[in-house]
Amino acid sequence: MLGKFLDKFLDENLQGLQDQGLFNEIDVVEGANGPIIQIRGKELINLSSNNYLGLATDERLKRIAVDAVQEYGVGAGAVRTINGTLDLHVELERKLAEFKGTEAAISYQSGFNCNMAAISAVMDKHDAILSDQLNHASIIDGCRLSKAKIIAYNHSDMDDLKRKAEEAVKSGQYKKVMIITDGVFSMDGDIAKLPEIIEIAKEYDLITYVDDAHGSGVTGKGKGTVKHFGLEKEVDFQIGTLSKAVGVVGGYVAGKKNLIYWLKVRSRPFLFSTALTPADVAATTAAIQLITNSTELVDRLWENGNYLKGGLKNLGFNIGNSETPITPCIIGDEKLTQQFSKRLIEEGVYAKSIVFPTVPKGTGRVRNMPTAAHTKEMLDAAITVYEKVGKELGVI
Ligand code: PMP
């Protein structure tokens, strides 16, 4: 009988979402998530994935994953601390530490999981976290789980951060204070001001935590935003995902030996959730090796990003202040943004709209994610569609 309260809750809330136009049907990709995808039987130029380097469908990685399945099977069989730690996991973590220029690394089942795990393993109710207002949802949830006081600072506003850091430290209320930031902000493509953040952290003795989900494999010649600024020795927590540029799935923390050891004995998803599968780990390790060995894919990604940005800008679109290949096309009005994206998709370009509450009201945008796997012809075709739809809807 209790079910009726659940039914009422769902009916009311789902209707609310529908009324606000926030109820998105999920599109189903029929086949691989490459530069061209098929949805509802139609082929589309894909400008919405995070598969920055095209590695999700890389033939070399596919073979390595298949080989790992043959040798190790499809599952790790247990959590890491029982007997789910395969030699493959140890090798991946060694590679990750090398990749990030740290003493050690620990892997998790996803980037989301990693933030939930790492923040709550170190911070507690006696602590405070200074968090950029635009940080990713998984950071926000990790902070909440830790029960630390969350102090949001205005996006990349170093004066605001400094003021709030000083206030928190001088209040004497907190045992530890941490600064957390995305390395690359996914909705605008801007890069965190890490040198200034580190300066503030040094001045007030703060812990530093950088989630570079969108930077690893992209900035710093592929090695990420911390490397881009040469701050490997200064940042305490280097977080990354293995699902975007790396093309597979998983997340990690790279840092000092003691920190990683602590996470291995205290972070709950590591202790209580089954380890990444052999295929995922083997493919990931190989992907990191590919990114380390050559900047060819990273260079192509940037070339494609700059090409698309240039094309859209020349047409008169507002592409914001992205410093990375992420190419937002800012439309403003939410309804118009959704209509714009719908028309793009009808015309063969899969670029999704992103509106409030993911971005502030009045800054609705279509976000384009060019990858190394796109050809110039694909990008030209996308730009042509943008021109047509832009003129049709009066955006340009
Ligand atoms: N952190 C940030 C900054 C992200 O953008 C994302 C992915 N959207 C995540 C963490 C989560 O990563 P994953 O998809 O591996 O769970």
The domain that holds 361 is classified in CATH as 3.90.1150.10
* Whether 73 and 37 share a structural domain: no
d(CA 387, CA 380): 11
Q: Is the CB of 186 under 6 A from ligand 1?
A: yes
Whether residue 272 lies inside any domain: the answer is: yes
Which residue of the set 162, 214, 352, 374 is catalytic? 214
The domain total for the chain is: 2
- pLDDT top residue among 1 and 361: 361
Q: Which of 241, 276, 293 is the last residue of a domain?
A: 293
- The answer to whether 243 is a known catalytic residue is no
CATH code, domain with 253: 3.40.640.10
* Whether 210 and 346 share a structural domain: no
Whether residue 313 lies inside any domain: the answer is: yes
Q: Is the pLDDT of residue 22 over 90?
A: no
Pocket test for ligand 1, best of 134, 241, 253, 276 (most atoms within 8 A of CB): 241
- The answer to whether 228 is a known catalytic residue is no
Position 46 scores a pLDDT of 98
Whether residue 224 lies inside any domain: the answer is: yes
Minimum CA distance residue for ligand 1 atom 5: 213
Q: Is 221 left (phi over 0), alpha (psi -120 to 50) or beta?
A: left
DSSP alpha helices (H): ranges in the chain?
3-19, 59-72, 87-100, 111-122, 137-146, 158-171, 194-204, 225-228, 257-266, 268-272, 278-293, 296-314, 334-346, 376-392
Q: Is the CB of 190 under 6 A from ligand 1?
A: no
Q: Is the CB of 46 under 6 A from ligand 1?
A: no
d(CA 157, CA 346): 39
* Whether 138 and 267 share a structural domain: yes
Q: Which of 293, 312, 337 is the last residue of a domain?
A: 293
Per-residue confidence band for 21, with pLDDT thresholds at 50, 70 and 90:
low
Whether residue 253 lies inside any domain: the answer is: yes
Which region among 2-11, 83-92, 332-341, 361-370 has the lowest average model confidence (pLDDT)?
2-11
Over the stretch 242-293, which tens digit does the pLDDT of each residue have? 999 999 999 999 999 999 999 999 999 999 999 999 999 999 999 999 999 9
The whole domain housing 156 covers: 59-293
Per-residue confidence band for 119, with pLDDT thresholds at 50, 70 and 90:
very high
Per-residue confidence band for 169, with pLDDT thresholds at 50, 70 and 90:
very high
* Whether 227 and 87 share a structural domain: yes
Minimum CA distance residue for ligand 1 atom 6: 213
- The answer to whether 214 is a known catalytic residue is yes
* Whether 197 and 338 share a structural domain: no
* Whether 308 and 386 share a structural domain: yes
* Whether 46 and 114 share a structural domain: no
* Whether 159 and 273 share a structural domain: yes
Whether residue 2 lies inside any domain: the answer is: no
Over the stretch 187-202, which tens digit does the pLDDT of each residue have? 999 999 999 999 999 9
- Among residues 213, 211, 216, which one has the least CA distance to residue 197? 211
Over the stretch 323-375, which tens digit does the pLDDT of each residue have? 999 999 999 999 999 999 999 999 999 999 999 888 888 999 999 999 999 99
**Alpha carbon distances (Å) from 27 to 49, 71, 167, 294, 378:** 13, 35, 46, 34, 21
* Whether 233 and 277 share a structural domain: yes
Whether residue 126 lies inside any domain: the answer is: yes
Pocket test for ligand 1, best of 136, 186, 214, 284 (most atoms within 8 A of CB): 136
Whether residue 107 lies inside any domain: the answer is: yes
Which residue of the set 95, 162, 228, 244 is catalytic? 244
Which residue of the set 110, 186, 322, 341 is catalytic? 186
Q: Which of 293, 326, 350 is the last residue of a domain?
A: 293
* Whether 360 and 387 share a structural domain: yes
* Whether 280 and 346 share a structural domain: no
Q: Is the CB of 156 under 6 A from ligand 1?
A: no
Q: Is the pLDDT of residue 225 over 90?
A: yes
Mean pLDDT of 140-152: 98
Position 358 scores a pLDDT of 85
* Whether 201 and 301 share a structural domain: no
Over the stretch 299-315, which tens digit does the pLDDT of each residue have? 999 999 999 999 999 99
Q: How many whole angstroms from 170 Cα to the centroid of ligand 1? A: 33
Whether residue 4 lies inside any domain: the answer is: no
Position 242 scores a pLDDT of 98
